[in-house]
Amino acid sequence: MGTNYFRKRPLTIPQQVFKMSSNWPGFNFKLKPGVALWTGAIQPTPLSETYTVQVRYAIGTRPTITVISPALRKNAKGEKIPHRYFDGSLCLYQPKYGEWTPQLFIADTILHWTSLWLAHYEYWLATGEWHGGGEHPTE
Amino acid sequence: MSGVGSLVVSMESSKLPEGRSYLLSDIAATGPRGGITLTTAQFIDTHIQQLDEILALIGVTLEITATQREAAEQHYLAIAKWLGGVEDAPFRLYEPQIYPQGSLRLGTTVKPLSDGEYDLDLVYELQMDYTKIPRPVTLLDLIELRLRQHGTYRDKVERKNRCVRVNYSGQFHLDILPAALDLVCGGTCVRVPDRTTQDWKASNPRGYAKFFEDQAATATAAFGEVAVKASVEPLPDHVPHEEKTSLQRDTQLIKRLRDITFAGNYELSPISIVLTTLAAQNFGGERSVALGIARVFNSVVAKIPPHGRLYVYNPANPEEDLSERWDKDRDAYSAFCEAMRQWQRAWNALLELRGIDKITAELERLFGPAPVKRAIDLQIKALEASRQGGRLGIDRNTGIITTSVSSTISMVPRNTFYGD
C-alpha cells in the first residue's frame, strides 16, 4: 500500500463500499450497474431533525448527495436554499480546491460535509442567514 | 447597549473541569462588561445540552447590564445613606438596618420589556419589637417625610400600600419597605406596616433569601454566605449569567415567560415573588435549565387544587401569604392557572421538538424574538468557529457534529460549500 503511484489512482467502487460499510454501518448499500447507492440517516445536531440522505457515486463522476426526507424547504422569507446544484443535490465542496477527489474516501469526507450542510440549513431556516460560508460560481 | 459583547472563541479545546456542568465551562464570562466566550469545548452532546446552551444564551441577554446595575447600586446606597446615615434620620436610635430584598438580592432580575422598569426593593428594618410601635403606618409616613426633605427625592416619592416608592423615571423604581422585629416568630422574622388594613403583615425577607439560596445550592456548590453586619448591606456582587445557579436561571426565564405571556394584560400577571417561590419550592436540583423548568411547571400544575386556590406562603414565614391577592382577584388567579398549564404543555412539547428552525420559532414565541435570535446566532457562530479551528468531528452512529472525541468520531475535513 501507499506508494505515490497508487495514491494517484482513483479509489475503486469496492474500496469505497468497504470503507462506507465499516465506518457507517447504519447506511444501506445498493449496487446498480456501475453506480453505488448508499442510503442512511443523518441528524446534524441533537436538536435537529433526522434526515434520510442518499449518496450516489459512479467512477468518473462527482458523488451526488440528495436529501430524501424530510423535504428541504425555503426559509420564512421565501428564499431559495443556498448551495445546491440545479438538480437539488448538495454542493458540499469547491471542486477546484481539490477538497474532494476520487482518491478520497466518501466515508471520510462527503458524509461529514452533508451533516455540516444540514446543520447550516437548519440554522438558515431559523435565522434567514447562511453562516456556513462558501463560494458561488462567478457569472 | 445590551449585555453581550463581542464573541470571542478560544482556539484551544479545553477539557471540562471536573464537577462543573457542561454549560458553565462552555460559556465563560470575561468580566463585568458581559462579553462572553464560547469555547465550545464540547459543542453539543445531547439535545438537552444543546437546548440548555440556547437557554443560557437567551438568559445572558436578559441580564441587567453592568451600567444599569451600577446605577441601581448608586441609587440604593444614596437612599440608604439619606435614610440611615445622618444625624436627624428617623428612628436612628433603633439602629435601622438597610438591606436589599427581591430579585436584585436573589440574582433573578430580568430585563423588563421595552416600556418596563427595574424594581429594586430595600428593607428598612428597625431593631425594635413591632408591638412597641402603636401605629404601623407611622413608619411609612416617617420614611415618606424624610424622603420629601431631600431635594432629589422630593418629587419622585410615591405612597404605596406597604412601601414608599422612589421613581427614577424610565429606568428604576426603588421600593422602601419599613419593617420591625417580630420577636415571637423569632429569627429574621419581621412585621411590615400595611396601609389598607392599618395593621402589620408578617414577613421575612432575609429568611426568604436564605431559603432561595439553600434551594439553589441543592444543585451547585453553595455560594459564600454574605455575613455583612453593617447597617447598610451592599447589593450582592454582580454575578454573570453563566455563573449563576441553575435555580436563578430557571427563575429568570420563568419571569421572562411571564412578561411575554402577560404583555397585553399586565394587571393579571402573577407577581415575581410568587413565581420565584414556586420555582424554588419545586426545584429538583437539576443542573439543566431545560429540565429544571419542566420539573417546576409539572409540579406546580399538579399542585393546583380542583377547588379553592393554590396558596404560596413565604417559606421563611408561613404567616405571610405571598399570593394573598388571589383571594380578591379571581381573574388573576385563573389567568395564573391557565398560564401555568400552557407553559407546562409548551415546555414539555419543546423538549420533544426537533429541527433548529422549529425550536427557534417556539422559543421566539415564548421569550420574544430578539434574545432568541441572538442566542441562535451565537450558537451557529460557535459551531463555525470550531469548524474553522479544525475541531469538528462527526459521530458515525448518528451523523451528529461534535467537538467531543471518541472512537466513533471522525474529524470533519476542510470544505467550501459551493454553488448557488
Between B382 and B35, where is the model more confident? B382
Query: Scanning every residue of chain A, which has its alpha carbon at the shortest distance from the alpha carbon of B375?
Result: A127
Contact A23 B396 (CB under 8 A): yes
Instruction: Label residue B322 by pLDDT band (50, 70, 90).
Output: very high
**Which of B22, B352, B356 is the mutation pick for testing A, counting most A CBs within 10 A?**
B356
Torsion of CA B346, B351, B354, B360, to 10 degrees: 60
Q: Higher pLDDT residue, B357 or B66?
A: B357
Quote the pLDDT of residue B11: 26
Of B354, B417, B420, the CB nearest to A132: B417
Cβ-Cβ contacts under 8 Å between A and B: the total is 153
Q: Do B384 and A131 touch (CB under 8 A)?
A: yes
Residue B22 has pLDDT above 60, yes or no: no
Query: pLDDT digits over B112-124, tens only?
Result: 887 778 888 999 9
Residue at grid coordinates 445536531:
A45
Spell out which residues of chain B touch residue A134, defining contact as CB-CB under 8 Å. Answer: 416-419
Rounded average pLDDT over A67-94: 92
Is pLDDT above 90 for B172?
Answer: no
Give the distance from residue A32's alpha carbon to the nearest chain B alpha carbon, in angstroms: 25
Which residue matches cell numbers 472563541? B9
Q: Looking at the predicted structure, is the pLDDT value of residue B410 above 70?
A: yes
Contact B413 A94 (CB under 8 A): no
**Mutate which of A48, A85, A127 to test chain B, going by most B C-beta atoms within 10 A?**
A48
- DSSP helix/strand/coil, A8: coil
Give the pLDDT score at B23: 33
Nearest to B187 by CA among B166, B206, B174, B214: B206
The minimal CB distance from A46 to the residues B47, B384, B394 is found for B47
Distance separating alpha carbons of residues B99 and B113, to the nearest angstrom: 27
**Predicted structure pTM score:** 0.86
Closest residue in B to A95 (Cα–Cα): B418
A133/B416 Cβ within 8 A: yes
Among B185-194, B231-240, B333-342, the minimum mean pLDDT is found in B231-240
User: Which among A40, A49, A136 has the least Cβ separation from residue B420?
Assistant: A136
Across chain B, mean pLDDT equals 84
Which residues in A lie closer than 8 A to residue B361 (C-beta atoms)? 126
For CA atoms B146, B152, B155, B160, the dihedral sign is negative
Chain B 12-51, CB below 8 Å of chain A: which residues? Answer: 44-47, 49-51
User: Among the ranges A50-54, A89-93, B125-129, B147-151, which has the highest mean pLDDT value?
Assistant: A50-54
Q: Is the pLDDT of residue A27 over 80?
A: yes
**Distance from C-alpha of B136 to C-alpha of B354, rounded to nearest angstrom:** 57
Query: Which of A75, A111, A131 is nearest residue B381 as measured by Cβ atoms?
Result: A131
Q: H/E element holding B231?
A: none
Q: How confident is the model at residue A109 (pLDDT cuts 50, 70, 90)?
A: very high
Chain B residues with CB-CB distance to A74 below 8 A: none
Model confidence at B72, pLDDT cuts 50, 70, 90, reads confident
**Using the beta-carbon criterion (under 8 Å), do A122 and B381 form an inter-chain contact?**
no
> For residue B25, what pLDDT is reported?
29
Give the pLDDT of residue A119: 96
Q: Does B356 touch chain A (CB under 8 A)?
A: yes
Label residue B144 by pLDDT band (50, 70, 90). Answer: very high
What's the gap in Å between the CA of B110 and the closest CA on chain A? 24
Place of cell 396601609: B195
pLDDT band at B15 (very low <50, low <70, confident <90, very high): very low
Work out whether strand B172-181 and strand B118-129 pair parallel, antiparallel, or are unpaired.
parallel
Residue B26 has pLDDT above 70, yes or no: no
Chain A residues 34-73 with CB within 8 Å of chain B: 40-50
Confidence of residue B220 (pLDDT cuts 50, 70, 90): low
- The larger pLDDT score, comparing residue A52 to residue B230, is at A52
**Contact of B242 with B24, CB cutoff 8 Å:** yes
How high is the pLDDT of residue A49? 97
The partner residue sitting opposite B401, judged by closest CB among A44, A82, A83, is A44
Which residues from B are below 8 Å from A88, CB to CB? none
* A89 contacts chain B (CB < 8 A): no
Q: Which three cell numbers stand for residue A57?
A: 457515486
Closest Cα in chain A to B393: A112
Q: B184, exposed or middle or buried, with CB in 10 Å at 0-12, 13-18, 19+?
A: exposed
CA-based nearest distance A130→chain B, Å: 10
Say whether the peptide bond before residue B112 is cis (omega within 30 degrees of 0): no
What is the pLDDT averaged over residues B37-53?
66
**Mean per-residue pLDDT, B280-307:** 96
The answer to whether the CB atoms of A126 and B418 lie below 8 A apart is no
For residues B153 and B157, give the distance between their C-alpha atoms in angstroms, rounded to a whole number. Answer: 6
Q: How much is the average pLDDT of B379-408?
A: 89
Question: Could you report the per-residue pLDDT of B122-131, keeping only the tens digit for each?
Answer: 999 999 999 9
Q: pLDDT above 70 covers what percent of chain B?
A: 85
Q: What are phi and psi of B6, to 5 degrees?
A: -75, 155
Q: Give the pLDDT score at A7.
A: 56
Subunit contact B357:A126, Cβ cutoff 8 A = yes
Contact A47 B410 (CB under 8 A): no
Residue among A91, A112, A119 whose CB faces B413 most closely:
A112
CA angle B9, B16, A118 (to 5 degrees): 55
Residues of A in contact with B38 (CB under 8 A): none
Confidence of residue B43 (pLDDT cuts 50, 70, 90): very low
Per CB-CB distance under 8 Å, the chain A contacts of B400 are 43-46, 115
Non-local (6+) Cβ contacts of B92 within 8 A are B84
